[in-house]
Structure 1
């Protein structure tokens, strides 16, 4: 089994979660990305969110939320993605940047529009009463 290590930012407002769609993709993904050599989770998260959404996470507010693992979207069977999730406040105005084409706020009813690992996160957030 091959494993893709990703870090993600869970931003929830009014029972909806911030999600993004990259150029040339049909599905939505929770913002974040892969670690670069030598980066900590926090460094990866801050860099990826700045690149994708043009906002700065406030490092002192970032907190661990959970780890989720599932089949990686658009990869061969058996390739898994491990998503380590954090939440935290930010400065700036969220907007699509870099490879991101669209920024949306999704509800639990939108679960079918996301990747398998994001579906697990949607389920967990829904069970917690955070995603409507």
Structure 2
């Protein structure tokens, strides 16, 4: 099981997604925790590294946990994505290993990883993703 923390940032029916260098699908921004890190510490660090913005820790709120087969890994490898919403300061920009950021809609569902497809379905069903 791959355990990841992700920032779920949906605005006006679109969700902020990232594509890492060498990858062919988009993911919600975030990543794996370092030893001893809390979910909050992981989220703040990963988003700073990937998007060059500062998450406001007091605004972090749970947004769901989703599991699916991990993209690009051996068959049977699962990823658990624990998602959070949060306010931030700065302007998101591709940084570190991120090659591209994009605001995706439900029509882009075929361009995201398996776990993100579940998240897109959830957002679409709850009216947050157009």
- After superposition, what is the alpha-carbon deviation per residue over 1:85-125, rounded to whole angstroms, capped at 9, x for unaligned? 00010001110000001010000000000000000000000
TM-score, normalising length: structure 1: 0.98
Q: What 5-or-longer segments of structure 1 have no aligned partner? A: none
Distance 2:18 2:82 in 1: 17
Deviation at 1:51, TM superposition (A): 0.2
TM-score, normalising length: structure 2: 0.99
Deviation at 1:34, TM superposition (A): 0.2
1:69 partnered with 2:70: no
> Is the partner of 1:124 in helix, strand or coil?
helix
1:39 to 37, 42, 46: 37
The match for 1:12 is: 10
1:128 to 115, 119, 126: 126
- After superposition, what is the alpha-carbon deviation per residue over 1:37-79, rounded to whole angstroms, capped at 9, x for unaligned? 0000000000000000000000111100110000000001110
1:58 to 53, 56, 59: 56
The match for 1:79 is: 77
Distance 2:114 2:97 in 1: 21
Q: What 5-or-longer segments of structure 2 have no aligned partner? A: none
Moved over 4 A (4+): none
The match for 2:93 is: 95
> Is the partner of 1:84 in helix, strand or coil?
strand
Distance 1:71 1:103 in 2: 23
